[in-house]
Chain A
Amino acid sequence: MKRASQATETSQIGRSVPRLESWLKVTGRAEYVHNLRLPAMLYGKIFRSTVAHGRIRRIDTSAARAHPGVQSVVTAAEVKTVVPDPYYGPAFHDQPVLALDKVRYVGEPVAVVLAADPHVAEEAVHLITAEYEELPAVYDEVEAVSSKAIVHDALKPAGTFPDLKHLKGVKNTNVALDFRLRRGDSAKAMARAERVFEHRFRTQQVMHTPLEPLVSVAECTEDSLTIHTASQSPSFVRIEIARLLGWPENRVRVRVPFVGGGFGAKLYIKLEALVAVLSLLVKRPVKVSLSMEEQFFTITKHASTFHIKSGVSRDGRIVARECEVWWNGGAYADIGPRVTQKSGFTAPGPYDVQDVAIDSYAMYTNLPPAGALRGFGIPQLVWAYESHTDMIAREMGIDPVEFRRRNLLREGRPQATGTPMRDAAIEKVLERAAELIDWGKPFDRGSGTRRRGRGIAIGFKACIANTTSLAAVNVNADGSSTVYVSTVDMGQGSDTAMAQIAAEVLRLPTEAVTVVHSDTDVTPFDMATLGSRSLFHTGNAVKLAAEDARAQLDALRTQLGLAPDTPIADLFKKKYGMRAGSVTGVANFIPPYTPPDENGQSDNATPFWMVGATGVEVEVDTETGRVRVERLVNVADVGTPINPRIVETQLSGGAIMQLGFTLFEKMLFDGEGQLRNASLAEYKIPGLLDLPAEIVNQAVVAEQRTGPYGAKGVGETATFGVSPAIANAVHDAIGVRITELPLSPQAVWEALQQR
């Protein structure tokens, strides 16, 4: 493709630049680890646990080793020869590279067969047998609090987070983290309230379902290792692999080309430690690519239980709120403790409540691990507090939108942490969503067995802190520019957005900028591509680095006595006497942050707030219980959109994903912790026929003053309100309240029977 590098005065911000990689993708040329084949590469196939909790008595790999074509079979015993203490994890060092002594969920990796032919490896996996001494298991997040079944003998916090230090070595508990927030005196305020409302809500375990399943390749020399991986967090992978091996970071190189969808599934260590150890054991490149089915046994979204209690004054003001949330983290903590805390502190919702108490518990159970999934716990919380809010409004005979209006957390008011709200267009977002769904206007409510209703919900999210991003921006001798960041483009359009920001600073067309994909040998550190943080953090770093480069060019221009409008190419020609040289701007962006005190209080808990509201119109078939969303309206505060078209597709994508989690997606376990629907034939995600006839996505006019050109993240915002908006609309249509996701036809029908 031809790309111009002449200077331009046209603003690159707010321009719906077509994605820079779209041509590569539609012509099948974009690089994915899935397609990578290295000379002499072996394929690893995983043998998995068949019991939910047990001590490993014996693993018989003899028949697999004897199978023709098998290179080797690896268990935890071999892993320990490379990594003596093979436990990893971002918050707790609790997850072994391969099950060690114990298995803690059905599907946990126990052994790996390596062969040059993946089919041979697969065949040999079936020849492995294992014997377990079964232990009592626990699956429910609330039962896990008092259960005699203990998933981990002792807690092993990673030590990187100060607030987890007190948990080190704690025994006889399944509580990985107990986050606590106290503001005012909720008990006293509750006692004084005119009315008290108390409800309990549940969400189910679901899967990310990226189209590209998890895949990693490792190749090694005697003292260096390169990992090619579909990861959202290459910098973290390098640090963690270096820690496990006891190597300096510069001996570990982590490369990430394009990623085919992440949604939080590809964060931290997933297959990387495994392929690294395997490669070091056999001294050959090793690839492990999961099947779609195996992803169910790798990482999922937390099931949760949320007990919420509100005290309300006579005039409909929420005066006290108490929140207890239990997060089902499965067998390994992954990032669950962060979900518990970072999302936990927004559990009272975007409402101005003086007296608040929050207890949020990260629980271990014997289910597949849960981590981050598009919203980082927020959709589970909004599901509860926005259903609860509607129930209060209806009980008190107040219009649900009006009730929200009375209680909204307005600009400058302190949130539950004490952090004042800044640049959070909560009111605007609510009003716009209400307007777009025609709130308060008459509509066809249906008749007979088809009943229609409307619902609305609003949620908000803090961005994860304390995190940092670095960027380097090169201006080449011809005036073109290259951006070096470790943000991973997994389909969200970050390459294009970063190029737009650099181009705006350098007064170049976006098409004159290329973005180098994460390679820890080349691109600088970045915390990770998660939680809608990249546009804000990496975007700010890119802007600062580009400004640094521009300052260097300006200085050069002055030094050479050239006119301000001298093209960059002429600048370099004059300086070096030929086409040569480049300038490199660098920057490190880390927003200010105050860690919470023992009561969860902080004057600066987040770099920015995300706000999203959803309005829906549904039709319920009262005979079958089937809910069909006819109209779906998503409104968000994304600050100032850098690329309006990408903003729109992020909003619709997030909302449609949440639609599946709301209406039918659910991992179904039997009484022994066995997953009954581990395939896309039995676990359905929304298809085109499930989409509402009308979907409207809008960003309100807003500005994040601390963001790059007024922008902030958008990847998760449209997920917030979808589930409660639908439940509220179902209630509006048929007078039935569902408190547990998903709103399956059977659940709605059963609720109708009980009415």
Chain B
Amino acid sequence: MAPRSLVLSPFELAEPRSLAEAIALLQAREGTVRPMAGGTALMLMMKAGVLRPTRLVNLRRLGLDQLDVDARGALHVGAMVTLRMLETSPLVRKGWPVIARTLRTLSNVRVRNVARVGGHLAHGDPHMDLPPLLCALGASVTIAGPRGERSCPVEELYAGYLETTLAPGELITRVSVPAMEGRRAAYLKCTTRSADDWPALGMAVVLDGAAPRIFVSAATDKPTRLAAAERVLAGSTLDERVIGEAAAAAQTLAIDGDLHGSAAYKKHLVGVYLRRAIHEARQPGH
């Protein structure tokens, strides 16, 4: 039998040089089009056969890899900054040590060298570490799309499990984090298998006197604000009684079990980790 020509399940890899070009490429009328940042999650999904794109739009030539602090002390991180750059940046270590600390146990250094901040946020997987932390820090994202630029708080980026509020053709271009200004923050995660496992629970706490912000992830299908716990803590002296009440309030959250732990176990962990994260945030240097 004569050898037939070989066909590889084809996809197009586009490398636009401008944001406008990238947005245009993302608005294909047919097929499955996805933007590609570091590709760490995308490649796994493609290999597993759950994603079969017809076109990938690589964002690496758009100049979105700046990291700086503005005059008001806010941090601006380009969407294509690697997690490792964010982790090792002296600006971040000085101004937002909680971000650098969180990144140290995010996956492993090989992944952090490749994965990008924008991709990390846009993936929508609730097991990611930065989304709950950035939500708690009051960060916002700048989004470019066919109808121009908009911005929204990170917490409004998520609609559900692997679901974001990004419209077709829209891209995250930047993340902005307000200055800490004396706020204290901690992010703790709980893994129930190996140490480098995806979290069973992520807990981010930012203490700011009258306006604490607390977000939980992994136990919920998207980063979820623990408003009831925040109300208990707001303006109170953080003694064991108040913290205990906040933990109890946090546990009213609806939680589903998964492979990492049952609903009952995770509900228990929410209380434990809320207390631990508050204590952690109050340590010197946080």
Interface residues in chain A, defined as those with a beta carbon under 8 Å from any beta carbon in chain B: 68-69, 71, 116-117, 119-120, 122-123, 126, 293, 623-624, 626, 660, 664-665, 668, 676-677, 679, 681-682, 684-687, 689-690, 744-746, 749-750
Cβ contact within 8 Å between B265 and A746: yes
Question: Do the beta carbons of B9 and A123 come within 8 Å of each other?
Answer: yes
Residues of A near B261 (CB, < 8 A) are 745-746
- B99 CB, nearest partner CB in chain A, Å: 20
A residues less than 8 Å from B195 (CB atoms): 687, 689-690
Contact of A746 with B44 in the complex, beta carbons under 8 Å: no
Number of A-B residue pairs, CB cutoff 8 Å, is: 67
CB nearest to B4 among chain A residues: A69
Residues of the B chain whose Cβ atoms lie less than 8 Å from the Cβ of A69:
4-7
Return the CB mask of B109-138 against A: 1 if under 8 Å, else 0: 000000000000000000000000000000
In the complex, what's the smallest C-beta–C-beta distance from B202 to chain A, in angstroms? 14
Asked if B48 lies at the interface with its beta carbon under 8 angstroms from chain A, I say yes
A117, A126, A687: the one contacting B8 at CB < 8 Å is: A117
- Asked if A668 contacts B259 (CB within 8 A), the reply is yes
Minimal Cβ-Cβ distance residue in B for A291: B47
Once the chains bind, are B259 and A682 in contact (CB under 8 Å)?
yes
A119 surroundings in chain B (CB, below 8 A): 8-9
How many residues belonging to B are interface residues under a CB distance threshold of 8 Å? 26
| Known interface pairs A69-B4, A117-B6, A676-B259; A684-B194 also in contact (CB < 8 Å) | yes
* Overall SS of chain A's interface: loop
A624 touches B269 (CB 8 A): yes
Q: Is the CB of B194 within 8 A of A746?
A: no
Is B149 an interface residue, CB under 8 A from the partner? no
Distance in Å from the Cβ of A45 to the closest Cβ of chain B? Answer: 11
Q: Does B192 lie within 8 Å of A68, measured CB to CB?
A: no
- B262 touches A (CB below 8 Å): yes
Residues of B within 8 A of A624 (CB): 190, 269, 272
Smallest beta-carbon distance B19→chain A, Å:
32
- Check if A681 sits within 8 Å of B7, measured CB to CB: no
Taking a contact as CB atoms under 8 Å apart, the answer to whether B9 and A677 are in contact is no
**A676 CA / B260 CA spacing, docked (Å):** 12
A120–B8 touching, CB < 8 Å? yes
A-binding residues in B (CB < 8 A): 1, 3-9, 44, 48-49, 190, 192-198, 259, 261-262, 265, 268-269, 272
The contact of A690 among B7, B194, B262, by CB within 8 Å, is B194
A744 and B7: CB pair below 8 A?
A: no
Known: A120-B7, A749-B268. 8 other contacts (CB 8 A): A119-B8, A120-B8, A624-B190, A664-B194, A681-B198, A682-B259, A690-B194, A750-B265
The interface residues of chain A lying within 8 Å CB-to-CB of B44 are 681
What chain A residues lie within 8 Å of B48 (beta carbons)? 293, 679
Closest to A449 in B: B272
Report Cα–Cα, A486/B278, bound state, in Å.
Answer: 61
Residue of A nearest to B8 (CB): A119
Q: Which residue of B lies closest to A750 (CB)?
A: B265
Alpha-carbon distance A123/B7, docked complex (angstroms):
10
Instruction: Note all chain A residues with C-beta closer than 8 A to B265.
Output: 745-746, 749-750
Known: A68-B7, A746-B262. A623 touches B272 (CB 8 A): yes
Q: Which 5 A-B pairs have the closest CB atoms?
A: A689-B195, A684-B194, A664-B193, A684-B193, A746-B265
Q: Which residues of the partner chain A approach B196 to less than 8 Å between Cβ atoms?
A: 684, 687, 689
CB-CB under 8 A from B7, the residues of chain A are: 68-69, 117, 120
Shortest CB distance B269–A (Å): 7
Residue of B nearest to A118 (CB): B8
Contact A686 to B259, CB < 8 A, known contacts A69-B7, A746-B265: no
In Å, the complex CA distance between A749 and B265 comes to 8
CA A119 to CA B192, docked complex, whole Å: 35
Cβ–Cβ < 8 Å partners of A677 in chain B: 259
Which A residues lie within 8 Å of B193 (CB)? Answer: 664-665, 684, 744
**Residues on A with beta carbons closer than 8 Å to the beta carbon of B194:** 660, 664, 684-687, 689-690
Minimum distance in angstroms from B109 CB to a CB of chain A: 11
Of the A-B pairs whose beta carbons lie under 8 Å apart in the complex, a sample of 27, sorted by A's number, is A68-B5, A69-B4, A69-B5, A69-B6, A69-B7, A71-B1, A117-B7, A122-B49, A123-B9, A624-B190, A624-B272, A660-B194, A664-B192, A664-B194, A664-B197, A665-B193, A668-B259, A684-B194, A687-B194, A687-B196, A689-B194, A689-B196, A690-B194, A690-B195, A746-B192, A746-B265, A750-B265
Q: How far is the CA of A749 from the CA of B262 in the complex (A)?
A: 11
Give B275's nearest chain A residue, CB to CB.
A623
A121 to chain B, nearest CB (A): 11
Return chain A residues, CB-CB under 8 Å to B192.
Answer: 626, 664, 744-746
CB-CB nearest in chain A for B108:
A687
CB–CB B4/A68 < 8 A: yes
Question: Once bound together, how far apart are the Cα atoms of A623 and B44, in whole Å?
Answer: 34
Q: Give the docked Cα–Cα distance between A183 and B223 (Å).
A: 62
| B140: min CB distance to chain A, Å | 30
- Chain B residues lying within 8 Å of A668, measured Cβ to Cβ, are 259
In the bound complex, what is the Cα–Cα distance between A68 and B44 (angstroms)?
25
Task: Give the nearest-CB partner of B190 in chain A.
Answer: A624
Report Cα–Cα, A745/B195, bound state, in Å: 12
Q: In the complex, A664→B269 CA distance in Å?
A: 18
What CA separation (Å) do A520 and B111 show in the bound complex?
Answer: 43
Residues in A whose Cβ lies below 8 Å from that of B6: 69, 116-117, 120
B260 → A minimal CB distance (Å): 9
Within 8 Å CB of A745, what residues of B?
192, 261, 265
Cα distance, A300 to B261, chains bound together (Å):
23
Chain B residues contacting A126 (CB-CB under 8 Å) are 49
Please name the residue on chain B nearest to A685 by beta carbon: B194
B52 to chain A, nearest CB (A): 9
Residues on A with beta carbons closer than 8 Å to the beta carbon of B268: 749
- State the Cβ distance, A350 to closest chain B Cβ, in Å: 32
- Residue of B whose beta carbon sits closest to that of A664: B193
Bound: A477/B80 CA distance, A: 64
Residues of B within 8 A of A685 (CB): 194
Inter-chain contacts of A117 with B (CB < 8 A) = 6-8
Contacts of B259 in A (CB 8 A): 668, 676-677, 682
Query: Min CB distance, A749 to chain B, in Å?
Result: 6
Q: Of all chain A residues, which has the CB nearest B6?
A: A117
CB distance from B108 to the nearest CB of A (A): 8
Residues in B whose Cβ lies below 8 Å from that of A626: 192
With both chains docked as a complex, state the minimum distance between the C-beta of B106 and any C-beta of chain A, in angstroms.
Answer: 13
